[in-house]
Amino acid sequence: MTINKRRTFAIISHPDAGKTTLTEKLLLYGGAIRLAGSVKSRKAAKHAVSDWMEIEKQRGISVTSSVLQFDYDGYRVNILDTPGHQDFSEDTYRTLMAADSAVMLIDVAKGVEDQTKKLFHVCRQRGIPVFTFVNKLDRYGKSPFELMEEIEQVLGIRAYPMNWPVGIDGSYVGVYNRQQAQVELFAKDGAHGQSVLPSTMGSVSDPAFRDLLGENVHSALCEDIELLDMAGDAFDYDQVAAGELTPMFFGSAMTNFGVRPFLEEFLKLAPAPVARISSEGEIDPASEAFSAFVFKIQANMNPAHRDRLAFIRICSGKFTRGMSVYHAQSGKVIKLAQPQQFLAQERTIIDEAYPGDIIGLFDPGIFGIGDTLCPDGGARFTFQDFPVFPPEQFAKVQPKDTMKRKQFVKGMTQLTQEGAVQVFRQSDFASEAFIIGVVGSLQFEVLEYRLKNEYGVELLMDRLSFSVARWLVGEEKDINSMKSIDSGMMIRDIKDRPVLLLSNEWAIRWVSERNPGVEFLETPPNSTEI
């Protein structure tokens, strides 16, 4: 299968727009699973395949990115399912670094929501083409024309409907494919979307379809088609690639309505693996020299083995099992053993992979997020830095049982390497506690849950009143003798860099004015900030 037949994309949305459900249905139509489970059915035995962590099944949300792969109609599909909740933005943003395109999921009733706006702008900054899927057409919502206008006004991008819902006032029975001028009507099977939905296809001018739809629905569809063709611009793929146009699809992931038409059209339009920026210029995916970067680390995906996996995105060349590569961050040549591909936590050992593919590598503790893998003996370079997020909430944590100090330190170290939290130490005395920083409070809950269930450690957690952190750059003597910091806390990050915690931006300005010899940075020195 050629590089041009690979599609690697992330699904982004506001929480509860149906992102994990859509992921599940793409797997269903791709033949990767035989029966779809619903995240909503929390008491049922079936859960969404992409929500593999126990806390995700309990809460009905995604708290970590999943990697899912399948083949469909000659394409190798790599789906990066990301958390929708804003408290896990860091994981989502890092995952977008590995994607070539994004599917933006919008709730038909709610339209463009806050988290969708943030993630869309990250895609725009990174030059990622965005495709739109309007979800939940099994419910009443805004009109398609209203949603088109909202996308243009709120996000500043024009929407081009690739298909159009057939029905009136939210009661939809099918979709009209504008390119093929065909109507596809979906059966109501009562299976609640667990299996592939049967459909009937034909021309909108076919009298049989006029009879099936009824005069009112058929007339409304014809009027909408005429309005779209008269008022809308022609479809331009160059504008999609440039981020000026988003192809728009309609459907319902819950009932499978419109999922297959979306999947087939998306695979035709979505970009193949694109070049990646490195310290040596662009790395062409067609280059024979192997290169990749680590975008995610996950410990304990298999609780029985307590393993740790590094997820890499292949950027160029052919990956072969057991190959040796240069690890740019450590300066060492390493052997890539036990390569795996995924259907969520279900794994398959593989012998080879190609640009665009996502694979997992057994990690003995040498990899970090953003690490670059280069050819052994070839050009040595690093890919562009991953974004760093300033933490906004802080807490002091220590084990309830001091006898479990070793497991506590191991768990905190591994979860820090995953990027689940940022860990600091107080700099003025040797404390048994860590200071942790997070973007959102739900991360505290996940930290407690994972330490207890994966490392057997219960936490004592004291929330701190600070809301801003600044990395301090300057002469050591100036930092050690800083004035007016009594209301703050001086800590050090895992690289032993000094950091000052204070309660608000006003306090930061007050302290910085009184310490002109010290520079105050929102993120660590030499890092990329979102």
Instruction: For residue 304, give the CATH number of its domain.
Output: 2.40.30.10
Q: What is residue 32's predicted lDDT score, i.e. its pLDDT?
A: 62
Question: Does residue 129 sit in the same domain as residue 257?
Answer: yes
- Mark which of 347, 375, 403 sits at the end of a domain: 375
H or E segment and range at residue 210: helix 207-213
Question: Does residue 475 sit in the same domain as residue 525?
Answer: yes
Question: Does residue 352 sit in the same domain as residue 412?
Answer: no
For residues 256 and 69, what is the distance between their CA atoms, to the nearest angstrom? 19
For residues 134 and 253, what is the distance between their CA atoms, to the nearest angstrom? 10
Residue 212: inside a domain, yes or no? Answer: no
- Mark which of 375, 398, 416 sits at the end of a domain: 375
CB contact at 8 A, 134 and 142? no
For residues 142 and 172, what is the distance between their CA atoms, to the nearest angstrom? 13
Question: Does residue 265 sit in the same domain as residue 320?
Answer: no
Domain count, the chain: 3
Residue 203: inside a domain, yes or no? Answer: no
For residues 214 and 235, what is the distance between their CA atoms, to the nearest angstrom? 30
For residues 201 and 184, what is the distance between their CA atoms, to the nearest angstrom? 4
Beta partners for residue 167, in sequence order = 172
Question: Does residue 47 sit in the same domain as residue 103?
Answer: yes
Q: How many residues does the chain have?
A: 530
pTM value is: 0.77
Question: Does residue 352 sit in the same domain as residue 406?
Answer: no
Domain span at 418: 389-529
Determine phi and psi for 99, rounding to 5 degrees.
-95, 150
- Mark which of 325, 351, 375 sits at the end of a domain: 375
The 10 Å CB-count burial string (b at 16+, else e) for 511-529 is: bbeebeebebbebbeeeee
Question: Does residue 427 sit in the same domain as residue 499?
Answer: yes
Beta partners for residue 316, in sequence order = 291
Domain containing 437 — which CATH number? 3.30.70.3280
Question: Does residue 371 sit in the same domain as residue 469?
Answer: no
Q: Please, what is the angle between helix 259-269 and helix 19-29, to 10°?
A: 80
Closest residue by Cα to residue 250 from 239, 234, 267, 265: 265
Residue 200: inside a domain, yes or no? Answer: no
Mean pLDDT by 10 residues, the chain (530 residues): 88 82 82 51 41 44 57 89 54 83 93 85 87 90 92 94 83 83 72 57 71 80 85 84 93 85 93 93 93 84 65 93 92 87 69 91 84 87 79 90 90 78 74 81 82 88 92 91 90 89 92 93 70
Tokens of residue 358, six digits? 């996502």
For 115, how many CA atoms within 13 A lie in the half-sphere containing its CB?
A: 23
Residue 204: inside a domain, yes or no? Answer: no
Query: If you compute the radius of gyration of the chain from its CA atoms, what whole number of angstroms results?
Result: 25
Domain containing 148 — which CATH number? 3.40.50.300
Residue 409: inside a domain, yes or no? Answer: yes
Residue 455 neighbours by CB under 8 Å, 6+ apart? 407, 408, 410, 411
SS3 67: strand
Q: DSSP readout, 219-248?
A: HHHHHHHHHHHHHSPPP-HHHHHTTSEEEE
Q: What is residue 429's predicted lDDT score, i.e. its pLDDT?
A: 53
Q: What is residue 243's predicted lDDT score, i.e. its pLDDT?
A: 87
Closest residue by Cα to residue 344 from 132, 49, 138, 102: 49
Residue 247: inside a domain, yes or no? Answer: yes
CB contact at 8 A, 471 and 523? yes
For residues 412 and 418, what is the distance between their CA atoms, to the nearest angstrom? 10
**Locus of tokens 């979906």:** 186
CB contact at 8 A, 49 and 37? yes
DSSP assigned state of 100: S
For residues 443 and 262, what is the distance between their CA atoms, to the nearest angstrom? 34
CA diameter of the chain: 86
CB contact at 8 A, 5 and 76? yes
Question: Does residue 289 sit in the same domain as residue 411?
Answer: no
DSSP assigned state of 380: -
Residue 480: inside a domain, yes or no? Answer: yes
For 280, how many CA atoms within 13 A lie in the half-sphere containing its CB?
A: 11
Q: DSSP readout, 243-259?
A: TSEEEEEE-BTTTTBTH
Q: For 524, left (φ over 0), alpha (ψ -120 to 50), or beta?
A: beta
Question: Does residue 323 sit in the same domain as residue 370?
Answer: yes
For residues 378 and 514, what is the distance between their CA atoms, to the nearest angstrom? 50
Q: What is residue 17's predicted lDDT score, i.e. its pLDDT?
A: 82
Q: For 60, left (φ over 0), alpha (ψ -120 to 50), or beta?
A: left
Give the type of residue at 508: I
Residue 257: inside a domain, yes or no? Answer: yes
Question: Does residue 126 sit in the same domain as residue 31?
Answer: yes
Q: What is residue 56's predicted lDDT score, i.e. its pLDDT?
A: 43
Q: Is 486 buried (19+), middle (13-18) or exposed (0-12) by CB count in 10 A?
A: exposed
Question: Does residue 434 sit in the same domain as residue 499?
Answer: yes
Dihedral, 340, 408, 447, 455 alpha carbons, nearest 10: 50
For residues 44 and 99, what is the distance between their CA atoms, to the nearest angstrom? 32
Beta partners for residue 172, in sequence order = 167
